[in-house]
């Protein structure tokens, strides 16, 4: 008699896990990566990671699959892009792979 298959539900990744994986991958690709810690006095909406390589700098906001930008994060993104900066929303390494060839 065979047992019914047990479906294992894998817990969704936490934002901090995704962030660490992205940071590690970017550093492996030669990027200098700074994790921005939110604290009292921080600029509201500032992105989670700041990355620079070969004169190119990118702000990265890390989100889970269901995560959305807050109003302050939307405003920060708009300001960065209005000043010619690069801003990415990343839900996994695949979202930052566009930075591989730099």
Task: Please tell me which residue, 1 or 39, carries the higher pLDDT value.
Answer: 39
Helices (H), 8-91: 15-28, 71-82
- DSSP per residue, 49-64: EEEEETTEEEEEEE--
Distance CA 35, CA 49 (A): 5
Tell me: domain 15-99, CATH 3.40.1350.10, correct? yes
Determine the pLDDT at residue 79: 97
Hey, which residues does 56 pair with through a beta bridge? 53
pLDDT (tens digit, 9 = 90+) per residue, 28-83?
999 999 999 887 778 899 999 999 999 999 999 999 999 999 999 999 999 999 99
Determine the pLDDT at residue 2: 60
Q: How many CB atoms lie within 10 A of CB 56?
A: 11
């Amino acid at each position: 008699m065979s047992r019914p298959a047990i479906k294992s539900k894998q817990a969704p990744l936490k934002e901090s896990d995704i962030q660490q994986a992205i940071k590690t991958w970017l550093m492996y690709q030669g990027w200098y990566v700074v994790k921005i810690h939110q604290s009292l006095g921080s600029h509201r909406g500032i992105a989670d990671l700041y990355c620079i390589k070969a004169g190119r700098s990118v702000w990265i906001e890390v989100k889970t699959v269901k995560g959305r930008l807050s109003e302050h994060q939307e405003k920060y993104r708009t300001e960065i892009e209005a000043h010619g900066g690069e801003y990415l929303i990343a839900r996994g390494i695949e979202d930052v792979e566009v930075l591989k060839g730099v």
